[in-house]
A = this chain, B = another copy of it.
Amino acid sequence: METQCSLQILIIIFVAVFISANSRNPPETSVGSTSTPPRTRRKINLRLNSIYNTIDHNSNRHFSDTPLHPLDPFTVSEINKIRSILLAYEPFSSSFPPVHTLSLDEPDKIQVLDWKAGDPIPPRRASVISFIDGQTHLVTVDLNLEAVTGDVVSTGSGYPMLTTEDQFTASRVVLSDLEFNKSILARGVDFNDLVCVPLSPGRFGPDEEGRRMVKVQCFSSQNTPNFYMRPIEGLIVTVDVDKQEIVKLTDTGRDIPLPKGTKTDYRYTTQSPFSEVSPGTNPMSMEQSEGPSFTVENGHIVKWANWVFHLKPDIRAGMIISQAMVQGENGVYRSVMYKGFASELFVPYMDPDQSWYFKSYMDAGEYGLGATAMALVELNDCPRHAYYMDGVFASADGRPYIQPNMICIFERYAGDIGWRHSEIPSMGFDIRESRPKVTLVARMAASVGNYDYIFDWEFQTDGLIRITVGLSGMLMVKATPYENLYNISDTDDMTGTLVSENVIGVVHDHYISFHLDMDIDGPNNSFAKVNLVKEETLPGQSPRKSYLKAQRKVAKTEDDAKIKLNLYDPSEFHVFNPAKRSRLGNPTGYKLVPSGTAASLLDLDDPPQIRAAFTNNQIWVTPHNRNEEWAGGLLVSQSKGDDTLAEWSARNREIENKDIVLWYTLGFHHIPCQEDFPIMPTVSSSFELKPVNFFDRNPILNAKPTFEKDLPVCFATDSSY
């Protein structure tokens, strides 16, 4: 808990900075930067040190890691090597400019596909994004040549992710401002309780171009760690993080009371004893008497049942599934997907106010889904018997750090049924056959500030892949003078639901765009829309007047594959290999199966929508292009939207019998309700990639049923009694 201490001088107050300070800049490397004035720095150091003491440091076990696969992420020693190569290159050799991102520049697909286990891995190259003298540099480092082999200055709009240094700077600049301090005092907030978060500003026209900015919003953490529920409303400070100056201060909400934050602490240790009223259930566990059925080889190759795939943490996408392959009838692995990951996550809030309009986050490109994915909570985030994978990333000074237990992998038996049939005994067969469904899940949870995004990639033995996104964590709320609805004469200007006294949960959306580089039995695939169309019968043809017919249409160009889903114009969406047919001659493919989703309804020319134009359709198909991985663009912060999926796809390139990428955007509309306060029960939605004439028959026909003898004998542990 916070210790209460009296305010001495403003500049030594604790400044909590937003987002991934630990991940992007671990304490050993991030503290003590030259731009922080000594007195502030000392305090920050102390706080950070105490925080970092609580972090599980596992880096020792990664010092000897060696890359064993062309797609393996950089190891600790490789990151150190990249840093030393950079240190020999101007301007890194003089004043090491901040590394905004450092990631593997993956070898060309052909090289990866040609590679076989045991082969030497292709040359390792790093892609480093750095901001130097007002320009974004895309630097390529070749580890084999031990040299910088590329240094391209970006000419498009947009900036790299903020570093922790940028975030410190923003908060420091704000705190040194007299007007800001006056406002905090006027609102009666104790500076000890002040938590300020640097928000990405979006981009709203020419005024906001040409400089890297952060909009700082502050909260009070008095009596609760759930400061998100105690916003200091209407106070937004726009900071130029390079010039280290305030661009604009908006202070419109002094008459709006600070919400009390009563009963907003959600931590177990601070709850009142588990009462009779609580919806308690006895603990449960998924147990396997013969142990889990999966293995993780060489750190990243996951093998389970009929599946094999490469899994790695990524600072931006969170996790990446590569080279997912499933066994055919003869046991040979067949390619399904070359690369799948969450490419961007767009979260527009629906409030046009001065202090809210800009809230239209692009969480992957602005904050990083991997950068914000902290260690999973064992037994609660993931079941017992889960395997945990660490992330190895580079901080702003180019040094490696470990994100422990960032991904978990587990087998899942949820009581579901793989297939079943009972035959009516009178049919002459007394049949009761059923197979339990066991699946494999790879999970990660990104805490992008207030929100938690749980990403699941679930693999089934019948060849299906289900991608689920769960939303939990805290609402982004707005303070209001109103304690309850009876006070409000006109609720029409409320932009959300009153979820607690003086707290409005503002309406917002979430859109997660997935990059799905499908390679069905090889890179060259086509996309077909199989439309169900009503046919009318001819007079006298049939007592039926109408029926549905599947009409298959193969997309020639990108325009043919821009899909807006419509319940009354239904289709299946197939990616198939035109060079391969099933035993019967059907095209072998996978279909994308959407489920519950939402579409963005913002104006196409609204600035956030332009930047997130990948939400203009639910489905797109593009030719594979290694420069087109991030649906909102490579450099997303403050981008104009000149490097989005919509821009690339506007070229209307050919996509038939090409190496193509399928894009699907999963959407959520969220009108908050009181149940979302002070922390939200998880809301989930999903979509599937499902084999369609890929297998010649049901691939789990001979799956084994569960027998009593297979199951474990379990006892309660002594300690619980």
Contacts and interface: CB of A to CB of B under 8 A. Distances in A.
A601 interface: yes
A178 to B, nearest CB: 24
A29 interface: no
A231 B609 CA distance: 54
A424 B19 contact: yes
Interface stretch (A87-95, A232-240, A415-423): A415-423
A544 B51 contact: no
A720 to B, nearest CB: 5
Nearest to A207: B543
A566 interface: yes
A464 interface: yes
Interface string A697-719: 11111111111111111111101
B682 A420 contact: yes
Given A290-B716, A711-B379, A542 B357 contact: yes
Interface in A460-488: 460-464, 470, 472-474, 483-486
A601 B545 CA distance: 12
Interface string A77-115: 000000000000000000000000000000000000000
A430 B51 contact: yes
Interface residues of A, number: 220
Interface stretch (A63-71, A152-160, A633-641, A667-675): A667-675
B607 A543 contact: yes
B284 A284 contact: no
Q: How many copies does the complex hold?
A: 2
A193 B432 CA distance: 20
A430 B706 CA distance: 42
Contact of A431 (B225, B289, B353, B706): B225
A375 B425 CA distance: 11
B287 A304 contact: no
Given A281-B438, A293-B281, A675-B695, A426 B51 contact: yes
Choose among A281, A327, A352, A438 the residue with the greatest number of B CB atoms under 10 Å from its CB.
Answer: A281
A167 to B, nearest CB: 9
Interface string A552-595: 00000000000011111010100000000111111000000111
Given A545-B605, A567-B598, A671-B532, A372 B51 contact: no
Given A278-B306, A281-B411, A675-B694, 17 more contacts: A221-B428, A268-B433, A277-B329, A282-B292, A283-B289, A283-B707, A283-B710, A380-B705, A383-B436, A416-B470, A417-B470, A417-B472, A419-B472, A419-B682, A544-B607, A566-B566, A593-B596
